[in-house]
Amino acid sequence: MGTVKITINGQEYEVEEGKTVLQAAAEVGVFIPHFCYHPHLPISGNCRMCLVDIKPGPPKLSIACATRVADGMEIDTENEKVQAARRAVMEFLLKNHPVDCPICDQAGECYLQDYYMRYDLESSRIQGPKEKVKKRKALRAGPNLYLDTERCVLCTRCVRFMRDVVKDEQLVIINRRDKAEITLFPGKELDHPYGMCLTDLCPVGAWTSADFRFKQRAWFLTNSPSVCPQCARGCNIWIDHRQGQVYRTRPRVNEDINKSFMCDEGRLSYHSIIDNRLTVPRVAEEGKMKKTSWSEALAAAAKTIKGAGAKLAIVISGSLTLEEAEAAKALGAKLGAKLYVHEGEPGWEDDFLRRADRNANVKGINGLEIKDKASAVGEDAVVLYLETLCPNPLPESMPEPAVVLTPQLSKAAGGAKVCLPAACFAETSGTFVNFEGVEQSFEPAVEPPGEALSHVEILSRLAAALDNKQVA
């Protein structure tokens, strides 16, 4: 692909051939406002917000999203004509837009708000709310979604996502003129496993998440980059949290892995970061799990492990990070115990993102020469089990683990002699290797709850406890 020379606002640039004006401008740092354009959706060209002045060309303005760069093109994104057209488009969009920002979840990350402040700032010329076209509001459009067609700017991003990306045309625009609105087929719900992507794609508050509804204002949230551990794809995500509490996860753009998308299951799995967490070490006593201190719990664990001798088997979850798996491997080498990786039964798969392998890091763990499956663990083995969030059920042939390192009160934790509270992916740094072999590292977003420690830290303390001669 060659390059072409273009001029944007008087400045000359050399850009890749075949790009659109909007893309080329963005790459050199000139932002052109837009609603309907999205880098991972087909071009629609209907919002008219990206109108710019292009010479040579027709005397009227051209849309930057659909015009390809050509050699010698002179683009003006800020002249009076362009600004006037933008103000006009903003006025038209706001003509029938309900000003319900105070109760709209999109407030703070709404294109209409941002563009109004940046490009418009004109007062309304309509004669009050009676002139606004009324449409449907707060419609429960699916298990995870609310639809508000009054807020909709009819950019058709959602329609194009359903039609062209996931290829399940559940949405259409009915009616013409200012009565046009997004709708589902009569009596149907939007039940697609990627349906919540509409809440990210929607530039305004028409599609909002039922899960996040009225929970937090967007501007209070801190966004931390991370990687979704729910399957072998390793979708890049943002973890949005405030005061240690995670409120939602959203896809983070990665051109090679998940573009701008993720599945609803992965998105909603953040609940497991909050719910049902193990926060203090526990030891089984007279058939009951009793809360205890770290030192007692570690001593109990060390005792169990020493008592197992050659029968010790270390089973690690396929969603453990590389760093955690390496620590487990080091411990195994030290104790002469064999390592097994627990993958569980395959889940659902599609030809879009979701992989049947429900673990985040099987490829990475296999790369550490830990390849035996948990089903190969002997019946008389004493198992040290390193678990992660949303664990897959252990194989029935495997004996109940004696010592469990786990972030949550899982089934395995219930039957163990000692369970130690571990941090989850959102609370540690680490590396996952996805099914294609892409290594992705991430940093902690929040602190672990209670007394929980990272797997690596627990293993190192466990090793120290094992070295302690006082333990019989």
Strands 403-406 and 418-421: parallel
| Token digits of residue 115 | 């563009």
Per CB under 8 A, which region of 15-23, 57-65, 142-150, 375-383 contacts other proteins? Answer: 57-65
Q: Which of 15, 63, 112, 302 binds other proteins (CB under 8 A)?
A: 63
Cα separation, 316 vs 459, whole angstroms: 12
Question: Mask 117-146, x = binds other proteins (CB under 8 A)?
Answer: --------xx----x-x-------------
Among 51, 386, 389, 446, binds other proteins (CB under 8 A): 51
Decide: is 44 part of the binding site for other proteins (CB under 8 A): yes
**Alpha carbon 28 to chain centroid, angstroms:** 28
Choose between 153 and 239: whose C-beta lies nearer to other proteins. 153
Give the separation between CA 200 and CA 398, rounded to whole angstroms. 42
# binding residues, other proteins (CB under 8 A): 35
Give the number of other CB atoms < 10 A from CB of residue 133: 14
Q: How far is the CB of 153 from other proteins (least distance, A)?
A: 7
Q: Does 23 bind other proteins (CB under 8 A)?
A: no
CA 159/CA 169 separation, integer angstroms: 7
| Binding test (CB under 8 A) with other proteins, winner from 9, 124, 175, 397 | 175
Residue 50 and residue 40: Cα distance in Å, rounded? 17
Asked if 334 touches other proteins (CB under 8 A), the answer is: no
Of 155 and 339, the one with the shorter C-beta distance to other proteins is: 155
Contact flag: residue 253 with other proteins (CB under 8 A): no
Stretch that binds other proteins, among 177-185, 210-218, 257-265, 351-359 (CB under 8 A): 177-185
Q: Which residue number, 82 or 263, has a Cβ lying nearer to other proteins?
A: 82
CB of 226 to other proteins, least distance (A): 36
Task: Write the DSSP string, 15-70.
Answer: EETT-BHHHHHHHTT-----SS--TTS-----S-TTEEEEESS-SS-EETTTPBP-
Residue 81: which of 115, 97, 58 has the closest Cα? 58
Burial of 470 (0-12, 13-18, 19+ CB in 10 A): exposed
Pick the closer one to other proteins by CB: 64 or 327.
Answer: 64
- Give yes or no for residue 184 binding other proteins (CB under 8 A): no
Which of residues 53 and 427 has its CB atom nearest to other proteins in the complex? 53
As measured in angstroms, the least distance from the Cβ of 185 to other proteins is: 15
363, HSE (Cβ side, Cα atoms, 13 Å): 19
CA distance 52 to 20: 12
C-alpha neighbours within 13 Å on the C-beta side of residue 365? 27
Among 16, 71, 169, 178, binds other proteins (CB under 8 A): 178
Q: Does 85 bind other proteins (CB under 8 A)?
A: yes
Minimum CB distance to other proteins smaller for 163 or for 373? 163
Binding segment toward other proteins, per CB under 8 A, in 37-45, 260-268, 282-290, 321-329: 37-45
Assess 163 for contact with other proteins (CB under 8 A): no
Q: What contacts 135, CB < 8 A, 6 or more positions away?
A: 149, 150, 152, 179, 181
Cα separation of 367 and 329, whole Å? 12
83 binds other proteins (CB under 8 A): no
> What SS3 state is found at 90?
helix
Contact status: 96 vs other proteins (CB under 8 A)? yes
For residue 342, the minimal CB distance to other proteins (Å) is 50
Q: Which residues bind other proteins (CB under 8 A)?
A: 43-49, 51, 60-61, 63, 66, 84-85, 88-89, 91-93, 95-96, 125-126, 131, 133, 153-154, 172-173, 175-180
